[in-house]
Amino acid sequence: MIVLKMLLKKVFEDNASDLHLIEGTAPTERINGEIIKIRDIPFADGKKLIQDLLSEKQKQQLADQGDVDASYEIEIIPGIMLRCRVNVYKDSTGLSFAFRLIPDKIPSMDDLQFPMGMRRMVREHHGLILITGPTGSGKTTTLAAMLQDIANHRRGKIITLEDPIEYKLQPSQSIISQREIGINCRNFATGLKAALRQDPDVIMVGELRDAETIETALAAAETGHLVLATLHTATVIEAVDRITQYFPVSDRKTLLMELANSFVGIVAQRLFAKKKGGRIAAFEVLTRNDATINMIRSDAIFRCSDYMRPEQGMQTMEHAIQGLKNLGLI
């Protein structure tokens, strides 16, 4: 653990986002999207490391499934705690570890330069907000900024279902209950059903990954709750298609009707390297109005760019990228 502490301290000081440990390979870190070697000595302590990182249940999951998610917290220097999301997985060399550093401070919507359409979404009191993007595109950070803003401005109860818990939300006007999959509840589907019995106003679902969770999330959004969730797709169009793909083709029309009735907005995001270092997200934004409701209901999502009106807080990915270029950020 001394070696891990030294490596994480180095990653923290370098303002890197990730630490990668692969048995037989030199440790590396990701800085501004690029992988950089930290030192020449190969990593070789995988079996010892899992004893310190994983619970018995997580070790069993690793043995059965070949990978497992966990969270980890360590004091890298006196007074500074570092939190990480960790994925442990088996590969041809043995055990590998991907550590994602989680900033101690949740960035604000201003910090992330949310467009107006996204700022309006969090003022809604019911409906579904979908955040989509590739792995590592900043979806968790976007959700955390939204939820913290809600907590700061709304008197209510927020329940999150996360795998694992990353950002620690701070109660302000709202009370907050953060639940971790595999520790506080079995899975997203059972956790979401339980959450509906816990008097929530806002529910965050870390990932919509099965039909039961999607069905329950849509029902919750239609019955007076604000539901925020993520998907792994690259665009708004793909997000809508992905939701329907979990169900039989014969159910597509019904699902599109439910989604049209409940959605507040759909956001697709990508990260870009900034000219002066660091990374920034570009957001494709679709918000709710009569035209977009009818577009989803009539299965015409392929035409969504035609409906993205900037004056209503919407923008295509191309417009978002051009906006960042105009500001000299990328």
Residues 6+ apart with CB under 8 A from 110: none
The CA-to-CA distance between both ends of the chain, in Å, stands at: 38
pTM: 0.90
* pLDDT less than 70: residues of the chain: none
pLDDT value at position 149?
Answer: 98
pLDDT value at position 1?
Answer: 73
Give CA–CA dist 213/205, Å, rounded: 9
* 3-state DSSP percent of the chain in helix, strand and coil, to 5: 35, 30, 35
Q: Token digits for 327?
A: 């500001």
pLDDT value at position 79?
Answer: 87
Domains of the chain, first to last: 2-102 (3.30.450.90), 116-326 (3.40.50.300)
Give CA–CA dist 182/286, Å, rounded: 33
pLDDT value at position 229?
Answer: 98
Is 216 in contact with 225 (CB distance < 8 Å)?
A: no
Q: Token digits for 293?
A: 């409701």
Give CA–CA dist 290/222, Å, rounded: 17
pLDDT value at position 104?
Answer: 83
Is 234 in contact with 134 (CB distance < 8 Å)?
A: yes
